[in-house]
Structure 1
Amino acid sequence: MPGPRNRPPSKKAKKRKNALAKLVSSPSNKEPTQPDPLAISQTPPSIPIVSDIDDANDTQEKGPVQGPIPPPPAQPVQPTQPAHRTYLNPSGGDQRLSGVLEFLDTPYAEPPSLTDIRYAPFARHDVLDVLRRYLPEELALTVWYNKSRKEGRICAVCRRFYKLGDTLPPLISADTTDHDADPRCKAERHISGLCTFVCFGTAAFNTPGAGGAWGKMESQLDRETARAINNPPPPSVDDEGLGTLFKLTRRADVGVGHYIELMDSA
């Protein structure tokens, strides 16, 4: 008598078994479903700006995300020309500048003379930008200040700041010359800000024969002095732009008149 395990399989069981065998043994004749053409042409998902890939630091434990890394601070642009230095040490009781730019932010600096047509055209910052093409930063600021102020002056050599008409103490203790009474000295202070003949000579050191230009503009120069200024020998020392300052200040427009005309006509 057959037991439960020896019972013959029913017809339904045989049908299920045969159907399963066909499904496993015979591959499907249906072609794989083609993807939707729109899905191919769609733009792939955007890649995050900050990647999670960190192959170089796989062994390091990553901390919590703190947000995007800020850009490094901008580095100040270094001047292409050497910085100007003080040539002569002070021996009197007057004050000398450690920096022209810092001085312009103090109450001691005279504001630009915007109502005087002799100085107002030079008060524009565009003029200062043009002067920076010819001179180091400190000297460009000095020329710009002297040309745009009615009375305020800065000596580019000894860096003494003063006003026209001030009585200045001797630059050198052994100097007993009364520079304030010399009309050439007064004129030179107005023209360039160079406060004594010593400072003038320092600025014109690389231009032999330029002594006749002391206190004179370009139109007042004699032929020999003009020739010496226009045809100087190779410089014997690096004057750090003082020779260029000396030449530019001989001109009434300090070499920027053409740019001023262009700015006025724009």
Structure 2
Amino acid sequence: MRRGWPALVIGAATATSGCAGSTPLMHPAHTLSPGRVSMGAGVAGHIGALDAAEVTTDDKTEPVLEDFAVAPGVAPWAAGRIGIEGDNEAGLTYAGRSFRLDFRHAFNIEPLWLSIGAGGSALIPRRRDSDSDLGSAYGGGFDVPVLFGWVSDAELYSVWFGPRGGFEYLQGEVLESEVFASGRDDTFIPFSGKHGFVGGLLGARVGFRSFHVALELDVAYHFADGTFGEGGGFDASLGQLTISPAGALLLTL
């Protein structure tokens, strides 16, 4: 059965995972001046726009794979960035279940800016259930965002948009009964998988001097496959479209 938008929003609001490797950027295309530092905090959502993976007979591998790879939900967002000589910038971002370290270079192609960057993400282990240990996954990956943007005089407001793609490797373990309806509830089986995404984003920032409010909307298509169990085990694959709104307060020093 297809989930309606109210159910999607409620489901996202009650979850606390979210974002995985497609962590919102929340920065414009132009870079900070050398030595200047930006810090921010906010919230990011990750909403599945297509039918959720469903249990079929005794097989629950696809819903578990979707939880590990796509990780729909709502997560806190926090980041710090620093400007580096030569229109360069580096940053560290936390969003729910991942830490992302990135570096980028910007080109002034008046009246626009072009930013080309690369980020590496570490996915920290996260339980499928906050009250009991049903399994967890961790991993690492990379992403490449390309941004075009425009900024007003005195940086009162700025807008940015562009494509972004990435890839992750995942590992972990899950309770057998979470994968198969007839599985044992006292035995964990290994999990390994791959997750890729490609999409685009649109963002805006408005403020005065050191204080700004940033909003961003990311849309991405995710493709994932995974193996549950040893010796080849059981394979699963899926595709999912996500819509990821985010907002934050930023302080620049």
Pick 1 or 2: higher relative contact order, CA cutoff 8 A, min separation 6.
2
Q: Fold conserved (TM > 0.5)?
A: no
- Name the structure where helix makes up a greater proportion of residues: 1
Structure with greater Cα Rg: 1
TM-score (norm 2): 0.23
